[in-house]
Chains A and B, each alone.
Chain A
Amino acid sequence: MRRFVFGTREKEGAGKQIVVYGLLICIGFVYLYPILYMISISFMNRDDLLDSSINWLPGTLYLQNYIDAASSMNFWTSLLKGIVIAGIPTLLNILVCMLVGYGFATFAFKGRAVMIGLLLFSYILPSQVTMIPTYGLYSKMGIVGTLWTFILPALFGNGLNAPIFILIFYQFFRQVPRVLLEAAKIDGAGHFKTFARVAVPSAGPAILTVGLFSFVWYWNESYLTEMYVQGLSSKSVWVNLVVQLKNFETSFESMQATGDVAVSLSESVKMAATALSILPLMLMYFVLQKQFVESIDRAGITGE
């Protein structure tokens, strides 16, 4: 009996297994609880919300919440713009961080240690310190409210969370055998040709990691998007779903005033809007989940 519960040295006992699975399932449920709650609430109509006998399963599949939330958020245009806002800086992030990471990893030059220290420092420093003058700079250049406010820093390796990405590439390229690069050099390739023909094709996993994380982080960044790209003005053309969600209440109320929506603002509508704003990333995650979860292992995010 004891052996059965606690297990022997060779085989884990049933009791231990039950504890592990029980914990995992409990914690897994806690993880999923907000999402399940959100989905459940978002399908309820007004009567279901008030009916205390209905807890989880709505009486009918009520889609009006989604329709109204989508029309209030301008779902399709916001979605496309969100993809552009997150996509272009991500591409630049990949390219520039790869260059810089390769430079740090393969070449020895004076001041490299200092620069890497500076890189770590720039990660630890809260962006609020530099935000105020940067905003001043952008508004002097007249690019507040345009996409350039995201493109420009990304172009110079200072995009969102760029230090992490540079470190990922740095770590990755240090593991690439030097022999490979030297062979290319002996065959007559210059530094850039070596980089483009040997280093980049071997960096697949790192590119994937950086691309996915950069996209997700840009997508979810509402603070800077609202301030720089949208420029905190309602007239701006640039807006993404997350920012729309942030200002959902006011925009929905103004829609209601003009009579464009059928339902009144309730928690169901809010939950429907939340669901809509995370839906694209969820879809992406379920398609690419294997790459997401395994990419970190391979790209060596955990190096020193």
Chain B
Amino acid sequence: MRKEKKVKDPRAKLGKLEKREARAGYLFVAPWLIGVGLFLLYPLCQSFYYMWFNIRITPLKTLYTYVGTGNFTQIWLENPEFPQQIVTYLWQTIVEVPIIVVFALMIAIMLNGQIRCRGLFRLIFFLPVIIVSGPVMNMLVAEGAASIPAMNTESIVAAFDTFLSHRLAEAIGEIFSDMIMILWYSGVQILIFLSALQKIDSAMYEAASMDGASGWESFWKITLPTIKPYILLNAVYSVIFLSSNEQNTLITMIQDAMFSGTKEKGYGYAAAMAWMYAVIVTLIVLLFFLLLGSKKDVYDRQIKRRKRALKKEARLVKKIERRGRRNARKIEQARQKRKYKTYSGESDY
């Protein structure tokens, strides 16, 4: 309604009503705005400031010593564990997230079909969301409840080792040994996919099957393009979940560094670690955005390709025309030079 009004009467200044509305809007989001300032932006700047310093807390006051990039060099050169863990984390996340997403999609599709006991299956697959917490997982992993004894990881690693790099093979082996954990992390993702699938218009499938599409084809041509945004959503959710999960040793390392009383560690050191960690997480999220975030689907791409082909054809036609005209002109000139006489059909022959 407001938009129509604006079209009718374009004003630079907001009207009284708009002003009042805007004020109410600010009022509603004000608590969050204060919170963002207090708990996000201010700490963010402060930790950015901290990471260049060595901070010692004495009972009397806090001592700041400027060390420049000292914290970073120390983390990379003198603490072998952190870089190692970062690399492991990177590999794990990049390999595990697609598995989680694909797996969640598979289960969601199966649950979305016409099956009996759907409620029971949903109950089971959603159960982990309720009980997944750092200590519980640690306890279960430590006592061997998290891996199926029948699964032999070593042979899998050996098999992959023959044609992949050792690091990758080990990452894959780790995935097989933590299979249950990976499956447990996909509860919310299954639900998101499930509700996305239920929103797809069934008329589309009917139309496709009337045109002779098989189930396989309509999965690739209808289901996948429609739920593509949710794939991205789930991938990002999985990355964030994996990065803030207490199974992740990196965040425990940051906490340990923060409270360790040694001379070189402390708040500044931990802040440098946390920033590096944040950059890595953001890079992974960006990676998935780049892979999955393009708004265009298959059809858009096909249309674009077709348009490009048409343009090319038109250009070719023009080129031929131009060349034809040029040739005609040349012939004409040559004709005039040699003073050909051709019968124009006007006078007598």
Contact = CB atoms under 8 A, between A and B. Distances in A.
Q: Among the interface residues A100, A129, A191, which one has the most CB atoms of the partner chain B within 10 A? A: A129
B251 A128 contact: yes
A33 B148 contact: yes
Interface residues of A, number: 90
Contact of A123 (B192, B240, B255): B240
Q: Among the interface residues A136, A216, A227, A301, which one has the most CB atoms of the partner chain B within 10 A? A: A136
A192 to B, nearest CB: 8
Given A24-B111, A35-B131, A133-B271, 8 more contacts: A33-B180, A122-B36, A126-B243, A126-B278, A129-B43, A129-B44, A156-B39, A245-B139
A238 B121 CA distance: 37
Contacts of A104: 25, 28-29
Given A20-B113, A27-B183, A102-B28, A221 B133 contact: yes
Contact of B135 (A24, A41, A124, A222): A222
A109 B24 CA distance: 9
A38 B140 CA distance: 8
Nearest to B184: A31
**Interface pairs A-B: 4 shortest CB-CB:** A103-B28, A156-B35, A107-B25, A220-B133
Given A31-B125, A128-B277, A302 B233 contact: yes
B210 to A, nearest CB: 10
Contacts, number: 259
Contact of B180 (A34, A102, A130, A220): A34
A288 B210 CA distance: 42
Nearest to A112: B25
Given A37-B145, A127-B244, A133 B196 contact: no
B31 interface: yes
Interface in B37-87: 38-40, 42-44, 46-47, 50
B135 A242 contact: yes
25 contacts: A24-B107, A24-B121, A27-B183, A30-B183, A34-B146, A41-B143, A103-B26, A108-B25, A109-B23, A110-B22, A122-B40, A125-B44, A129-B44, A132-B43, A153-B39, A156-B32, A156-B34, A158-B38, A221-B133, A267-B143, A277-B136, A278-B130, A281-B131, A297-B194, A301-B191
Contacts of B145: 33-34, 37-38, 41, 271
A130 B31 contact: no
A277 B135 contact: yes
B129 A216 contact: yes
A193 to B, nearest CB: 12
A123 B240 CA distance: 8
A157 to B, nearest CB: 3
Contact of B258 (A23, A99, A135, A270): A135
Given A9-B209, A274-B136, A293-B191, A302 B129 contact: no
A222 B125 CA distance: 23
Given A107-B21, A137-B43, A157-B35, A34 B140 contact: yes
Given A223-B246, A245-B135, A297-B195, A130 B40 contact: yes
Contacts of A175: none
B140 A124 contact: no
A7 B255 CA distance: 57
Q: Among the interface residues B123, B135, B191, B282, which one has the most CB atoms of the partner chain A within 10 A? A: B135
A166 interface: yes
Contacts of A96: 31-32
Given A96-B32, A112-B25, A278 B183 contact: no
A289 interface: yes
Interface string A271-289: 1011001100110110001
Nearest to A166: B32
Contacts of A153: 35, 39
A132 B277 CA distance: 14
B251 to A, nearest CB: 6
